[in-house]
Structures are given as C-alpha cells and as structure tokens.
C-alpha cells in the first residue's frame, strides 16, 4: 500500500506530467483560459489515462512479448479505438456525463501525455495496480496544473503587460514560475 | 522554371523563419522542452524529428491518391509511428548514450502536432517534390529552434557548449536553467524576443508607408 501511495504522490507533485515532464503542454497552454473548462478537461484526461494504463498493461502482458517493435504503433491504434468506443458507450448510457467530458475525449487521445503515460509505465515495469495508480496520479497532477494555470491566467487577464509579452510568451514564463514552485516538493520525501 | 525554383525556395525559407514551427506556430513543444537541456541533445532530437518528418511527408505525398479521405488521419499516424519506430531502434543501435538520455521522448515524436499538421496541411495536397521541400524547411526551422534552446540552457546552466567549458572556474552555473523551469522560462523569453522583433519590423514598415504616403 505504501508503495502505491508513494507512486500517486510522486506523480501528482514531484514528477508532475506537465510541469516536470512537459507532457500535455498543448492543452495546458491552449485550453487553460477558463477555470471550468480546464477542470472538466482535467477530469476527462484522468479518465482516458486510466483506460490507457489498462490497455497498455493488457497489450504488454499478452501481445507485445511476441513483437516488442510493434509497441508504439499498437499503443496508438488501440488507445484511439478504445477511447472512441468508450465515447460511444458514454453517449448512449449517460448523456450528462457525455456533455461534461464528451467533446474532449477524442482530442485527448492524440495528446502526448496519454502516449507518454503508456510508455513511462512500460519502461518502469509497472504491474496492473501500479499502472492504474500511476495513471490516477498523472491525471490528478495534470488537473492540478491546468486548474492552477487557469486561475493564474484569470488573475492576470486584466493586468497591463507590454504587448510583446502578451499571449504565449507570458503564459510560458508563468508556467516556468509554477514549475519552480513545484520543484519545492522534491524535498518532500527525501528525509524518509 | 525560374518561377518554380523561386516558389520552392520560398517554401523552404518559410519553415525556417516566417512560419517557424516553434517560435511562430508554437507547435511540437511537448517533447522538445524536456530534452533540450544541452545542445547535443537538441541536435539529436532535431535530426530524429527531421528524419520522421521528411520520411512521412514523402510517403504521404506518394500515397495521397490511395488513402481514403475518411481514414486519412489514422493512416498518417500509422505512417508516422512506423518512421518513429525506425528512428528509435536506429538510435538505440548507433548512439546508445544519447538514446538513454532522450529516453521515452523519442517515441513521443509521434504525438507531435507539428508532424501530423504538415501531413494534413501540406503533404497530402502537394507533389512529392514540394512536400519534401516543405518538410525539409520545417525540420530545419525545428532543428534551429531546438539547438538554440539547448545551447542557451547549456551555456547558462552548465557553462558549457557541446560539452566544452566556456568560462573559467569562477563561473557559477545557473542550475535552474537545466531543470524543467528553465525550459519554460527560456522558451518564454525567446518568444518574447521574436515578438519584439516582429513588432519592431511592423512599426518600421508602417513608418516607411507613412513617409511614402506623405510624398505623394
């Protein structure tokens, strides 16, 4: 149990997918203009990540031991298909949930954070439960980062910055400072 | 003939400056910030991307009449993934040290919106020659961006360039520059510089236009 908890906390804070590995930067910078939207995007991403971890584990255990060079191609194709299927299922079963997550699901599939999650989990040799917890931590970390970023952008929207800094350059520098703050968590567990 | 030469040259240059994938379109950042903590990693990543982009542009342009419209995106992705697998295994065989440093970020080339974007926007609608030129231009722009980002971070963060020490013993390295925050901040400042340059140029153009207008 301690091992699983450790995996969760470390992917949530210390090795945050966005702020330490630079994964999922496109939605992080693109969608983070509204607090509400970014929270829902975070939830949808977490959901897809958990599904991905499950698919990756199944593929790794049953298929890819015979053909490791197909890893990348099969990850992409299988994950994209499964997410499409789940999207259709949700649309049918729970229209409310579909409205909350729906539009983001197909977009998220091509997000590098999803593929990164599958590859990192494989490289670290995680088992099923470890992989699922890893996915939960990564998703929660993504949600945390994007919600924080949306809040910061909300606060600075009215401030008077020079025109050449406005837009993406400003957002990048703000994320740099945010990432610096998250580096502080690196000392969290070093004592134990 | 001269006209088509000029057009080809334009397509090439556009990738390097006017539509530079990193500084102007801000695409393909995800794997690039993570690996550019030294100039040599930037070169390796840039060349790997270059190979994938040129290879898949060539194949997409060659097969553009065979690929059904409805499933084109999936086809593009599978083509790109094939080239990325080739790069991954070749780097592992040729330069294991660099492969270890780039690690999981080589497979992630596949998820770069830059590459898929070029296939969709350009290679699937143009002749093979133009597609190759466009891919080369974009890849060159990407390589330049990666290497300059890596060089800045390596110079400030370690006092070295391509592993060669630049300053004396008294230089205190800015460790933050080779850590993740340094990537965000360096790219932010480079974009800022680009914006400043463009704005200055625009203002000069406007002034020139105003002067011309007053003459008439």
Query: B 82-101 residues with CB below 8 A of A?
Result: 82, 84-85, 88-89
Report residue A101 as tokens: 């997550």
Q: Would an 8 Å CB–CB cutoff place B30 in contact with chain A? A: yes
Q: Would an 8 Å CB–CB cutoff place A27 in contact with chain B? A: no
The alpha-carbon gap from B5 to the nearest alpha carbon of chain A, in Å, equals 35
Q: Would an 8 Å CB–CB cutoff place B77 in contact with chain A? A: yes
- Give the residue among B11, B17, B18, B21 at the shortest CA–CA distance from B139: B21
Separation CA B139–CA B107 (nearest Å): 17
pLDDT computed for residue A5 by the predictor: 82
**End-to-end CA gap in chain A:** 16
Helix B72-94 with B39-62: angle, nearest 10 deg:
140
Q: Where are the domains of chain B?
A: 2-215
Q: In this complex, which of B31, B74, B195 lies closest to A112 when CB atoms are compared?
A: B31
List per-residue pLDDT tens for chain B, 216 residues long. Answer: 455 677 777 777 777 777 777 776 666 666 677 777 778 888 888 888 888 988 988 888 888 888 887 778 778 888 888 999 999 888 889 888 888 878 778 888 877 777 777 787 777 788 888 888 888 888 888 888 888 888 888 888 877 777 777 777 777 778 788 788 888 888 888 888 888 888 888 888 888 888 877 665
CB contact under 8 A, A77 and B34: no
Provide the ipTM. 0.76
Residue length of chain B = 216
Q: In this complex, which of B26, B180, B199 lies closest to A20 when CB atoms are compared?
A: B180
Q: Would an 8 Å CB–CB cutoff place B111 in contact with chain A? A: yes
List per-residue pLDDT tens for chain A, 192 residues long. Answer: 468 888 888 888 888 888 888 887 777 877 777 788 788 888 888 888 888 888 888 888 888 788 778 888 888 888 888 878 888 887 888 787 777 665 666 667 667 788 888 888 888 888 888 888 989 999 999 899 989 988 888 888 887 877 777 777 888 888 888 888 888 887 766 544
Separation CA B92–CA B86 (nearest Å): 10
Separation CA B201–CA B212 (nearest Å): 16
Q: Is the dihedral of CA A37, A17, B195, B131 positive or negative?
A: negative
Q: Would an 8 Å CB–CB cutoff place A110 in contact with chain B? A: yes
Among A30, A48, A72, A117, most B C-beta atoms within 10 A, so best to mutate, is A72
Q: In this complex, which of A25, A80, A123 lies closest to B104 when CB atoms are compared?
A: A123
Cβ atoms within 10 Å of B47's Cβ, excluding its own: 15
Please tell me the number of Cα atoms within 13 Å of B98 on its side-chain side: 22
pLDDT computed for residue A52 by the predictor: 86
Which residues on chain B are in Cβ contact (under 8 Å) with A183?
Answer: 179-181
Q: Would an 8 Å CB–CB cutoff place B63 in contact with chain A? A: no
Q: What does DSSP assign to residue B126? A: S
Q: What percent of chain B has pLDDT over 70?
A: 90
Separation CA B12–CA B2 (nearest Å): 15
CB contact under 8 A, B189 and A72: no
Which residues on chain A are in Cβ contact (under 8 Å) with B30?
Answer: 22-26, 112-113
């Amino acid at each position: 149990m301690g091992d699983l908890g450790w995996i969760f906390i470390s992917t949530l804070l210390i090795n945050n997918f966005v702020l330490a590995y630079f994964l999922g930067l496109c939605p992080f910078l693109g969608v983070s203009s509204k607090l509400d939207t970014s929270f829902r995007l975070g939830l949808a991403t977490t959901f897809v990540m958990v599904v991905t971890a499950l698919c990756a584990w199944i593929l790794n255990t049953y298929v890819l031991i015979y053909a490791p060079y197909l890893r990348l191609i099969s990850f992409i194709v299988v994950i994209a298909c499964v997410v499409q299927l789940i999207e259709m299922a949700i649309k049918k079963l729970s229209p409310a949930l579909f409205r909350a997550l729906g539009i983001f699901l197909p977009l998220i599939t091509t997000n590098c954070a999803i593929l990164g999650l599958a590859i990192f989990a494989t490289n670290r040799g995680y088992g099923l439960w470890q992989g699922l917890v890893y996915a939960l931590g990564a998703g929660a970390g993504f949600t945390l980062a994007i919600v924080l970023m949306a809040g910061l952008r909300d606060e600075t929207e009215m401030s008077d910055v020079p025109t050449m800094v406005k837009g993406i350059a400003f957002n990048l520098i703000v994320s740099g400072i945010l990432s610096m703050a998250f580096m502080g968590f690196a000392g969290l567990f070093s004592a134990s | 003939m001269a006209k088509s030469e000029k057009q080809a040259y334009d397509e090439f240059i556009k990738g390097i400056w006017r539509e530079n994938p990193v500084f102007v379109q801000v695409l393909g950042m995800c794997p690039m910030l993570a690996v550019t903590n030294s100039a040599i990693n930037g070169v390796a990543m840039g060349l790997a991307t270059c190979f994938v982009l040129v290879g898949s542009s060539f194949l997409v342009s060659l097969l553009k009449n065979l690929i059904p419209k409805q499933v084109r995106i999936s086809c593009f992705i599978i083509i790109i993934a094939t080239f990325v697998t080739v790069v991954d295994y070749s780097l592992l065989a040729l330069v294991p040290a660099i492969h270890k440093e780039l690690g999981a970020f080589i497979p992630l080339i596949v998820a770069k919106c830059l590459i898929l974007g070029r296939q969709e926007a350009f290679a699937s609608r143009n002749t093979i020659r133009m597609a190759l030129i466009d891919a080369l231009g974009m890849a060159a722009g990407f390589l330049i961006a990666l290497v300059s980002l890596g060089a800045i971070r390596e110079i400030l963060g370690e006092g070295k360039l391509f592993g060669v020490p630049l300053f004396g013993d008294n230089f205190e390295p800015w460790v933050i520059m080779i850590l993740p925050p340094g990537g965000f901040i360096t790219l932010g400042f480079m974009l800022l510089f680009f914006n400043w340059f463009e704005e200055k140029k625009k203002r000069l153009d406007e002034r020139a236009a105003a002067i011309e207008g007053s003459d008439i």
